[in-house]
Amino acid sequence: MKRLLTLVLLLALGMISALTLPAPALAGPVNWIEVEPSAEGRQWWDEGSLRISKSGTLSVLSRFQPAAAAPPAADAATDAEPDAAAGGRAQPPARPRILGDLYVMEIDCGQQLYRDTSVNGLPRWGAPWQPLGGDALIGAVVAESCAAAGLQPLPPSAELALRSAAKP
What one-character-per-residue DSSP string does 28-50 give?
Answer: PPP-EEEPPPBTTEEEEEEGGG-
What pLDDT tens digit does each residue of the chain (168 aa) get? 777 667 666 666 666 655 555 544 445 678 999 999 999 999 999 999 999 999 999 999 999 999 875 444 444 444 444 444 444 444 445 555 667 899 999 999 999 999 999 999 999 999 999 999 889 999 999 999 999 999 876 555 444 444 454 445
Taking the C-alpha atoms of residue 69 and residue 82, their distance in angstroms, rounded to an integer, is 21
Please, is 137 exposed, middle or buried when counting C-beta atoms within 10 Å of its C-beta (0-12, 13-18, 19+)?
buried
User: What is the model's pLDDT at position 77?
Assistant: 44
Cα–Cα–Cα angle for 98, 103, 132, rounded to 5 degrees: 110
Per domain, the residue ranges of the chain are 29-66+97-168
Residue spans of alpha helices (H) in the chain: 2-20, 136-148, 156-166
